[in-house]
Amino acid sequence: MVRWPLQSIRRRIPTPASVTGAVQSPAVVTRLGLFLGPAFGVCFLTGLISHNAQSPTGVLLRPWPVWGYRLTQGIHVATGIACLPLLLAKIFAAYPRILDRPDGPARGPSVIIRFAAGRLLIGILTAAGIVQVATGLFNIFQWYVFTFDFVPVHYAVAWVAMGAILIHVATKLPTIIETLRRRRRTGQRHSPGARRGFIGGVLGVAGGLTIFSIGQTIGPLNGLALLSPRRPRSVNLQGVPINRTAAQAGVVDRIDSWSLTITGPSGEHTLHRDTLTAMPQATVRLPIACVEGWSVSAEWSGVRIKDLVDLVGGAGRDLRVQSMERGSRYARTRLPADFVADPRSILAIRINGEVLALDHGYPARIIAPDRPGALQTKWVERLEVL
Amino acid sequence: MTERIVRWSLAVLGGCGMAYGLVLVLTRVSPADWFRLARWGLAAWMINDLVLMPLALLLGLTVLRRVPPRRRMPLRIGLLGLASLVIMTAIAVGARAHQKNPTAEVTAPLPALLITGGVLVLVILVAELVAGLQRPERDEGPAAG
């Protein structure tokens, strides 16, 4: 007798078929997944590269090509932004599935458990995907509304999201294959009518967002970067954006008493700015590439790192770089031996023909090829051969 | 057989990935951040299941059914594009209000929204014009969503 109210309730709840429209079909959901999955995959892989590059114990770090980090981080941010409309479209196309119920007339425990596990996976997949895209967007705009430590959380959730995507593909593989086979069997080159238009439109929106934001990475498209967090480079101080000012770093009061201490196997040297200026100078053109996706090339002049390290007999070793800033994750960084030996790695004192501005790291900052902007240490006060 | 192997391989790889992610949360993320992350995850799930999906359902049942079949697809694409732009603009506006870096020359979000929104509308209109010249009227079926 208890069944009657339950059956009555079940009859009143819509089924997926009753709310399915032109685009809520396995064909559309599958095809959107064929774009969203790889977009997330590329974002994940470039994110791994970025995370490795920022790690003191990162593997396979090399100072070439000079534009390496610029490229991978630019792609990471661009694909992350493109995931926004793709994710919204996938949610839109798949929304009838929220009304799914356990299959079969005899809904035994195993069916219900399998159904619940499937819903849990979808819940984790969707939540992880939304968290990654949302926090990534907040981070590139420097609005730290999430309050947690972004780097370890974004890295950990990326693994959860990719893992959930792979399991999701594994469970849906028969549907994916059948959908793609049906297209080939009927000889259709494209999904019919409305579905083709929807997918094309979604890709167009994703492409449009990319075009209007990727100019922060690609110079010729800089004028189109309407959706990027930073305005074109020409309006920035000395042509390069600043993420952290000297005031924010708390170094302003100590700048006048600045000196550079270099320690190594053969002893210790203390240099002042006029000593640095008197040493042989090198000029290199290298990009600053930020984790937020923007990157700008500039002309830097200063003393080669290897020349400074040679003063203390530290050739062939890693270097610890200490900033005047205190309490920041990147106040102390490690420059691998390959980077130290590279002639393009310099302790810069000038940028684009001008003396380095205080907010750009005056009196001296590290500039090295293929290195994340956060590790191009500003206000360097100590170099220690390890 | 091959399909079965591929499915199992993907499932195992995916399981390992998720497990590694969980280990990273437990070992590299501070305990205080666990709860913040859990709140964000819960909020994301709620936004999906309690906001986005009902909104999509409502859109289909109340708006799209009143629109001629031929106009529904451009409307869907326009709304999707607009939603993406509004989300990015909202973040940009909020970021400007909370900007701690006084030297940051940020892009003005509202003009950006107007220009990119205008481009979106223009592209949809041109696409519709081209489609109208190329194809006859076609009924697209049920309106929901």
pLDDT the model gives residue A105: 56
Between A284 and A237, whose confidence is greater? A284
Between B100 and A235, whose confidence is greater? B100
Nearest to residue A94, comparing CAs of B115, B48, B82?
B48
- Point out the least confidently predicted range of A5-9, A86-90, B44-48: A5-9
- Point out the least confidently predicted range of A247-261, B8-22, B91-105: B91-105
Nearest Cα of chain A lies from the Cα of B33 at a distance, in angstroms, of 5
Backbone CA torsion sign across A252, A253, A259, A261: negative
Between A55 and A234, whose confidence is greater? A55
- CB neighbour list of residue A163: distance below 8 Å, 6 or more residues apart: B13, B14, B15, B16, B17, B18, B19, B20, B21
Helix (H, G, I), strand (E, B) or coil at A145: coil
Helix (H, G, I), strand (E, B) or coil at A372: strand
pLDDT the model gives residue A19: 66
CA distances, B17 to each of A56, A128, B20, B22 (Å):
23, 13, 5, 9
Say yes or no to pLDDT of A189 above 50: no
Q: B16: which chain A residues are within 8 Å (Cβ-Cβ)?
A: 163
Provide the β-strand partners of residue A260.
A271
pLDDT the model gives residue A191: 46
Query: Alpha helices of chain B — where are they, by DSSP H?
Result: 2-28, 31-46, 53-58, 69-97, 109-134
Decide if domain A16-224 falls under CATH 1.20.950.
yes
Domain borders along chain A are 16-224, 240-385
- Point out the least confidently predicted range of A150-154, A279-283, B1-5, B101-105: B101-105
User: Is A328 touching B (CB cutoff 8 A)?
Assistant: no
Mean pLDDT of B41-70: 85
- Point out the least confidently predicted range of A28-32, A73-77, B51-55: B51-55
Confidence of residue B111 (pLDDT cuts 50, 70, 90): confident
At A370, the amino acid letter reads D
User: Is B70 touching A (CB cutoff 8 A)?
Assistant: no
Mean pLDDT of A213-229: 84
Considering only the C-alpha atoms of chain B, give the largest distance between any 2 of them, rounded to a whole number of Å.
61
The pLDDT tens digits for A40-84 are 999 999 999 999 998 877 777 888 888 999 999 999 999 999 999
Rg of chain A over all Cα atoms, to the nearest angstrom = 27
The pLDDT tens digits for A144-154 are 898 899 999 99
**E-only strand ranges, chain A:** 260-264, 267-271, 282-289, 295-304, 319-323, 332-335, 346-351, 354-355, 365-367, 380-385
Mean pLDDT of A281-287: 95
What percent of chain A stands above pLDDT 70? Answer: 89
Q: B102: which chain A residues are within 8 Å (Cβ-Cβ)?
A: 245, 247
Between B98 and A376, whose confidence is greater? A376
Burial A242-273 (b: 16+ CB within 10 A, else e): bbbbbebbebeeeeeebebebbbeeeeeebee
**ipTM topping 0.90:** no
A83, A88, A95, A237, best to mutate vs chain B, most B CBs in 10 Å: A95
* Plot region of A346 (φ>0 → left; ψ -120 to 50 → alpha; else → beta): beta
Count of positions (residues) in chain B: 145
**Beta carbons of A95 and B76 less than 8 Å apart:** no
Rg of chain B over all Cα atoms, to the nearest angstrom = 22
* Cis bond upstream, residue A65 (ω within 30): yes
Q: A244: which chain B residues are within 8 Å (Cβ-Cβ)?
A: 101
How many CB atoms within 10 Å of residue A114?
13
**Average pLDDT, rounded, for chain A:** 88
CB pairs under 8 A between A and B: 268
pLDDT the model gives residue B144: 45
Backbone CA torsion sign across B39, B40, B41, B46: positive
Check: pTM over 0.80? Answer yes or no. Answer: yes
Mean pLDDT of A147-174: 95
Torsion of CA A244, A247, A248, A249, to 10 degrees: 80
Nearest to residue B24, comparing CAs of A152, A135, A49?
A152
Q: How far apart are CA A307 and CA A316, in angstroms?
A: 12
Classify domain A240-385 at the CATH class level.
alpha beta
Nearest to residue A139, comparing CAs of A127, A126, A155, A124?
A155
Mean pLDDT of A168-177: 93
Say yes or no to pLDDT of B143 above 50: no
CA distances, A89 to each of A126, A206, A230 (Å):
13, 10, 27
Q: With a CB-CB cutoff of 8 Å, which residues 111-140 of chain B face chain A?
A: 111-112, 115-116, 119-120, 123-124, 127, 131, 138, 140
pLDDT the model gives residue A111: 84
pLDDT the model gives residue A232: 58
Q: How far apart are CA A54 and CA A222, in angstroms?
A: 26
Say yes or no to pLDDT of A106 above 60: no
